[in-house]
């Protein structure tokens, strides 16, 4: 216990010795191997596995989850400072000093991610069995989901940045395949491409960071970087931090790389729940927290993270407030909540733990909200426009109840999960960066507004359904996982904070420092709840007590118009990058055609014309050649004769 | 013996030969004119050899005769071949290589 207190006081992470995997910990690789096998079998077996493919896919993730639980218990049994387990599988790249082992690392940080990924992943697999029931490509869907689970597990279990990059690209690929799952819709195909391209910008940051690490530190394993980064030049460390932030922004849809997430909602709803709410989009937060030692050393990089988080949490909340598409509303909300996590991660040792804490609770309640939205869509013939919902409470009692739990969790009503995690972030931000703290408080109010709007438009008010809509409750395969997640959304926050003591659990890896001074916790809780309630009341008055028009009104404030256009994110990208890029390429094509080709073709044409002229000299008459020769000889002789005379 | 006369004769013969090559169209005649030029030069060589009292010119004259004989063999063969295909010995007719 003294040891833990010392860690808490210093704020430094001290992971202790890295232990080689033995006994139970040999199972770490199995975690990844099972979903890989599932994906490979389903993809290779093709249509033959159509009948049982979804069962295999679900079984694979469930077994992974079982293995994760075993590992979790084994890790709990270890002492605090011996919970970083390395499993070296093989030497992947071994060239001189460039050594990339294919090695996995299980520590408290990756453990909670593994539990989230496999746990929520299993529930979403079960949900998808029923949700994708009518899709002829259901087997392929499960293959991609398994592929995603494997890549995501590799991402969080890698023990070096290069292997993490493999997982990072793997989840990008799975995300691309799943957003474009219904690729026969042009909008889905475009959205998949957009997500892929925007993510490439972020991936560029990650590869830059890895290159800089290798160039300055000579290593890119977590262990090596953590041990040596303190000796590096502080400017370099800042640049590595900023490059990592760029990578995190791309994957986590943070400003300025946020534009892809809203379009990514074209994918099937379970995908939105698993990849674009609970797990993949939070990989950026993982990257930053995993690189805590780097960010601890660079004030500038941390301020940049806080800035990105603060801007995005407000942007996402504003966008979420104006969307009529239920999934896009939730996507805006996801951006906003990840903004909170970035904000927390940017606060340094006081915030890392809470970034992960909020990530975990958010993973549960946001997956729940997306699955709830999927259930509503399922009952309403895939209608996503909330203006055509209304009064669904009586028809979908279970969905209403679980969505309600998710709603209370996300707006942060005690004792639901979001209350604990969000409150800790607002508190830490308030003390460390008051401006960000105020923004976070404001964001909590807007969260209350848009979530109330969503619930009111969907479940309350008058029915505004399309003709022929027959809303009905979804099958137990869909409601079951939602109920489990709803239980999680009720208890997870309290359990993790007070029973599981998440600060102590994570402190050996990421470091933890108690927030000191500033404002009293109770006052801040009261303020936050006050702001949230104001948001809820405004939302309720506007969308539950008044009639909601079926067609979105056009006479609205400038802010609403902007929010409907995703705050002009796409327009900015188009004006700043796309148009100049197009102009550049057009100019280059013109230069190539006119100037480069012009010079080459002009030279050829000039020589051709000249030779056509010169060819006329060749008459073809032997006698004229003879005459030329004779004249030549005469001239030569004359010159020689004159020369000898002179 | 006055070598000047021989040289003048040589020059006259060479000029007749050159003129013939330039103005005649019949390949046989052109050929004969070339022979005339070769022999005119032979005459000049022999004259100079006599004047200088050396054998060099005489030797060269022999070489020229050998070359002339070889040339006649090949040249006549070409002319006969062309005549067979085109029924003409005109030097202006074979112009396939001309554009």
Compare A507 and A483 and report the one with higher pLDDT.
A483
- Identify the band that residue A6 occupies on the pLDDT scale cut at 50, 70 and 90: very low
Instruction: Dig out the tokens for A74 from the structure.
Output: 């084994």
Task: Give the residue among A146, A128, A134, A136 at the shortest CA–CA distance from A61.
Answer: A146
- What are the tokens at A576? 């700043």
Q: Please answer yes or no on whether A626 and B22 come within 8 Å at the CB atom.
A: yes
pLDDT of A280 > 60? The answer is: yes
pLDDT at A78: 85
Which residues of B fall within a CB distance of 8 Å from A614? none
Hey, which residues 604-643 in chain A have their CB within 8 Å of chain B? 615, 618-623, 626-627, 630
Q: Enumerate the β-bridge partners of residue A105.
A: A86
Nearest to A630 among B18, B91, B99 (CB): B18
Q: How many helices (H) and strands (E) would you count in chain B?
A: 3, 0
Residues of A in contact with B22 (CB under 8 A): 623, 626-627, 630
How far is the first Cα of chain A from the last one, in angstroms, to the nearest whole number?
117
**Judging by beta carbons within 10 Å of its beta carbon (0-12, 13-18, 19+), is residue A600 exposed, middle or buried?**
exposed
Q: Give the number of other CB atoms < 10 A from CB of residue B55.
A: 9
d(CA A389, CA A149): 33
Looking at residues A38-49, what average pLDDT do you find? Answer: 89
**pLDDT of A13 over the 70 cut:** no
CA distance A370 to A382: 14
Q: What is the pLDDT of residue B1?
A: 67
Task: Look at A646 and A140; give whichever has higher pLDDT.
Answer: A140
CB B29 within 8 A of CB B20: yes
Over the range A546-562, which residues count as b (16 or more CB within 10 Å of their CB) and which as e? eebeeeeeeeeeeeeee
Higher pLDDT, A157 or B88: A157
Say what the ipTM of the complex is. Answer: 0.81
Contact A622 B92 (CB under 8 A): yes
Residues of A in contact with B95 (CB under 8 A): 620-621
State pLDDT tens for residues A455-482. 998 888 888 888 888 888 888 888 899 9
B88: pLDDT strictly greater than 90: no
Instruction: Flag if B92 and A626 touch (Cβ within 8 Å).
Output: no
- What residue in B sits closest to A614 (Cα-Cα)? B99
- Give the residue-averaged pLDDT of A482-493: 89
Q: Does residue A14 register a pLDDT over 80?
A: no
- Residue A370, pLDDT score: 93
pLDDT at A9: 41
Q: Where are the beta strands (DSSP E) in A376-497?
A: none
Neighbours of A251 (CB within 10 A): 28
Backbone torsions φ then ψ of A464, nearest 5 degrees? -125, 40
C-alpha neighbours within 13 Å on the C-beta side of residue A245? 27
Helix A161-179 to helix A283-290 angle, to the nearest 10 degrees?
A: 170
Closest C-alpha to A265, from A368, A174, A369, A192? A192
Output the average pLDDT for chain A: 88
CB contact under 8 A, A623 and B22: yes
pLDDT band at A631, cuts 50/70/90?
very high
> Chain A contacts of B30, Cβ < 8 Å?
622-623
- Length of chain A, in residues: 646
Does residue A179 contact residue A148 with C-beta atoms inside 8 Å? no
- Whether the pLDDT of residue B97 is over 80: the answer is no
Inter-residue contact A104 to A158 (CB < 8 Å): yes
Sheet holding A19-20, edge to edge: A19-20, A85-95, A98-106
| Closest residue in A to B92 (Cα–Cα) | A621
Q: Say if the Cβ atoms of B97 and A620 lie within 8 Å.
A: yes
DSSP A101: E
| A 186-205: CB under 8 A from B | none
Residue A545: beta bridge partners?
A: none
DSSP output for A582-646: HHHHHHHHHIIIIIIHHHHHHHHHHHHHHHHHHHTT----HHHHHHHHHHHHHHHHHHHHHHHH-
Please state the rounded mean pLDDT for residues A404-411: 92
**SS3 label, residue A208:** helix
Tokens at B60, concatenated: 């060269």
Compare all CA atoms of chain A with the CA of B22 and give the residue at the minimum distance.
A623
- Cβ of B22 within 8 Å of Cβ of A620? The answer is no
More confident residue, A520 or A286: A286
pLDDT at A16: 57
The domain over range B3-86 is classified in CATH as 3.20.20.120? no
pLDDT of res. A255: 85
Asked if the model's pLDDT at residue A262 lies above 50, the reply is: yes
User: What DSSP designation does A460 have?
Assistant: S
pLDDT reported for residue A550? 80
Residues of B in contact with A615 (CB under 8 A): 99
**What are the phi and psi torsion angles at A310 (to 5°)?**
-65, -45
A626 contacts in B (CB within 8 Å)? 21-22
Q: What is the mean pLDDT of residues A375-395?
A: 86
Task: Tell me the CA distances in angstroms from A552 to A323, A328, A488, A520, A544, one per residue in order.
Answer: 10, 15, 35, 43, 16
Residue of chain A with shortest Cα separation from B15: A630
Whole-number Å distance between alpha carbons of A297 and A294: 5
More confident position, A450 or A383: A450
Answer yes or no: are the C-beta atoms of A482 and A372 closer than 8 Å.
yes
- Res B60: pLDDT: 94
Residue A418 banded pLDDT, cuts 50, 70, 90: confident
The mean pLDDT of A527-556, rounded to a whole number, is 87
- The residue that leads in pLDDT, A619 or A396, is A396
User: Do the Cβ atoms of A627 and B92 come within 8 Å?
Assistant: no
pLDDT tens by residue, B22-44: 888 888 999 999 999 999 999 99
What token pair was written down for A120? 């929520």
The stretch A564-590 carries a mean pLDDT of 89
CA distance A609 to chain B (A): 15
DSSP character string of A268-307 = -HHHHHIIIIISGGGHHHHHHHHTHHHHHT-HHHHHHHHH
Contacts of B23 in chain A (CB under 8 A): 623
Contact A621 B92 (CB under 8 A): yes
- In which element (H, E) is residue A535 found? helix A521-543
Q: CB atoms < 10 A from the CB of A40, how many? A: 14
User: What value does the mean pLDDT take over residues A511-539?
Assistant: 86
Chain B residues within 8 Å of chain A (Cβ atoms): 18, 21-23, 25, 30, 91-92, 95, 97-99
Confidence of residue B98 (pLDDT cuts 50, 70, 90): low
Which of B22, B27, B90 would best serve as a mutation to test chain A binding (most A beta carbons within 10 A)? B22
The model scores a pTM over 0.90:
no
User: What's the pLDDT score for residue A536?
Assistant: 92
Q: Is the pLDDT score of A495 beyond 90?
A: no
A629-644: average pLDDT:
92
Between the CA of residue A600 and those of A124, A345, A588, A605, A610, what are the distances in Å?
61, 58, 16, 9, 16
Q: Give whole-number Cα distances, A303 to A296, A428, A435, A513, A517, in Å.
A: 11, 14, 12, 18, 20
Cα Rg for chain A, rounded, in angstroms?
31
Q: Read off the pLDDT of each residue in A297-319 and give the average, rounded to a whole number.
A: 92
Q: Is A344 exposed, middle or buried (0-12, 13-18, 19+ CB in 10 A)?
A: buried
**What integer pLDDT is reported at residue A558 of this predicted model?**
83
Q: What residues of B are in contact with residue A622 (Cβ under 8 Å)?
A: 30, 91-92
Query: Strands A85-95 and A19-20, how do they pair?
Result: parallel
Q: Once rounded to an integer, what is the mean pLDDT over residues A400-406?
A: 92
User: pLDDT value at position B68?
Assistant: 92
Single out the residue of A419, A284, A270 nearest to residue A358, CA to CA: A419
Higher pLDDT: A271 or A497? It is: A271
Distances (CA, A) of A254 to A304, A445, A575: 12, 20, 19
A325, β-bridge pairs: A385
**pLDDT band with cut points at 50, 70 and 90 for residue A17:** low
Cα–Cα separations (whole angstroms), residue A399 to A230, A505, A567: 51, 34, 31
Rounded mean pLDDT, A504-532: 84
CA dist A426 and A309 (Å) reads 12
User: Would you place residue B86 in the very low, low, confident or very high pLDDT band (cuts 50, 70, 90)?
Assistant: confident
């Amino acid at each position: 216990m003294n040891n833990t207190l010392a860690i808490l006081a210093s704020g430094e992470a001290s992971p202790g010795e890295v232990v080689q995997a033995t006994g139970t910990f040999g199972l770490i690789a199995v975690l990844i191997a099972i979903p890989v096998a599932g994906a490979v079998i389903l993809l290779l077996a093709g249509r033959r596995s159509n009948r049982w493919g979804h069962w295999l896919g679900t079984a694979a993730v469930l077994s992974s989850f079982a293995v994760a639980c075993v590992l979790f218990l084994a890790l709990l049994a270890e002492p605090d400072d011996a919970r970083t387990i390395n499993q070296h599988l093989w030497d992947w790249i071994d060239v001189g000093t460039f050594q990339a082992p294919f090695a996995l690392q299980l520590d408290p940080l990756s453990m909670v991610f593994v539990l989230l990924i496999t746990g929520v992943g299993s529930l979403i697999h079960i949900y998808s069995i029923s949700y994708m029931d009518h899709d002829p490509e259901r087997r392929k869907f499960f293959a991609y989901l398994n592929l995603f689970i494997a890549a995501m597990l590799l991402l969080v279990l890698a023990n070096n940045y290069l292997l993490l990059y493999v997982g990072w690209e793997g989840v990008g690929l799975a995300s691309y395949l799943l957003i474009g799952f219904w690729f026969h819709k042009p909008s889905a195909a475009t959205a998949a491409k957009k997500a892929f391209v925007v993510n490439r910008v972020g991936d560029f940051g990650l590869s830059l960071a890895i290159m800089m690490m290798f160039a300055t530190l000579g290593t890119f394993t977590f262990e090596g970087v953590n041990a040596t980064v303190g000796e590096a030049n502080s400017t370099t460390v800042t640049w590595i931090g900023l490059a990592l932030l760029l990578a995190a922004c791309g994957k986590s849809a943070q400003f300025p790389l946020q534009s892809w997430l809203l379009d990514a909602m074209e994918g099937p709803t379970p995908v939105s729940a698993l990849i674009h709410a609970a797990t993949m989009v939070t990989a950026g937060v993982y990257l930053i927290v995993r690189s805590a030692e780097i960010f601890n050393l660079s004030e500038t990089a941390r301020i940049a993270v806080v800035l990105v988080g603060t801007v995005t949490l407000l942007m996402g909340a504003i966008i979420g407030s104006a969307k009529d598409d239920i999934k896009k509303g939730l996507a805006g909300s996801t951006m906003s909540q990840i903004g909170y996590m970035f904000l927390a991660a940017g606060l340094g040792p006081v915030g890392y733990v809470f970034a992960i804490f909020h990530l975990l609770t958010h993973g549960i309640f946001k997956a729940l909200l997306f699955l709830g939205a999927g259930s509503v869509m399922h009952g309403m013939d895939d209608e996503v426009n909330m203006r055509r919902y209304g009064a669904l409470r009586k028809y979908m009692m279970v969905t209403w109840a679980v969505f309600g739990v998710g709603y209370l969790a996300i707006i942060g009503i005690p004792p639901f999960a979001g209350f604990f995690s969000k409150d800790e972030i607002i508190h830490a931000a308030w003390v460390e960066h008051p401006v960000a703290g105020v923004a976070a408080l404001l964001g909590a109010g807007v969260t209350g507004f848009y979530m109330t709007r969503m619930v009111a438009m969907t479940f309350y008010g008058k029915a505004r359904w399309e003709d022929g809509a027959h809303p009905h409750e979804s099958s137990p395969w869909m409601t079951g996982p939602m109920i489990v997640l709803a239980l999680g959304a009720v208890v997870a926050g309290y359990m993790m904070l007070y029973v599981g003591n998440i600060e102590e659990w994570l402190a050996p890896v990421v470091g933890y420092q108690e927030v000191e001074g500033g404002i009293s916790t109770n006052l801040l809780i009261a303020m936050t709840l006050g702001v949230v309630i104001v948001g809820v009341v405004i939302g309720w008055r506007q969308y539950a007590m008044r009639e909601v028009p079926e067609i979105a009104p056009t006479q609205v404030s400038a802010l609403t118009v902007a929010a409907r256009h995703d705050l002009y994110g796409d327009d900015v990208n188009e004006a700043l990058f796309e148009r100049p890029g197009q102009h550049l390429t057009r100019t280059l094509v013109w230069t190539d055609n006119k100037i480069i080709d012009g010079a080459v073709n002009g030279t050829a044409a000039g020589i051709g014309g000249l030779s056509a002229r010169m060819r006329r000299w060749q008459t073809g008459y032997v006698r004229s050649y003879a005459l030329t020769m004779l004249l030549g000889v005469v001239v030569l002789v004359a010159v020689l004769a004159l020369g000898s005379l002179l | 013996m006055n070598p000047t006369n021989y040289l003048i004769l040589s020059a006259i013969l060479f000029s007749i030969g050159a003129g013939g090559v330039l103005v005649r169209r019949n390949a046989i005649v052109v050929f004969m004119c070339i022979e005339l030029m070769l022999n005119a030069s032979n005459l000049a060589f022999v004259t100079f050899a006599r004047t200088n009292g050396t054998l060099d010119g005489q030797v060269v004259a022999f070489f020229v005769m050998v070359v002339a004989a070889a040339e006649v063999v090949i040249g006549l063969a070409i002319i006969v071949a062309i005549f067979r295909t085109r029924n003409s010995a005109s030097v202006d007719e074979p112009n396939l290589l001309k554009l």
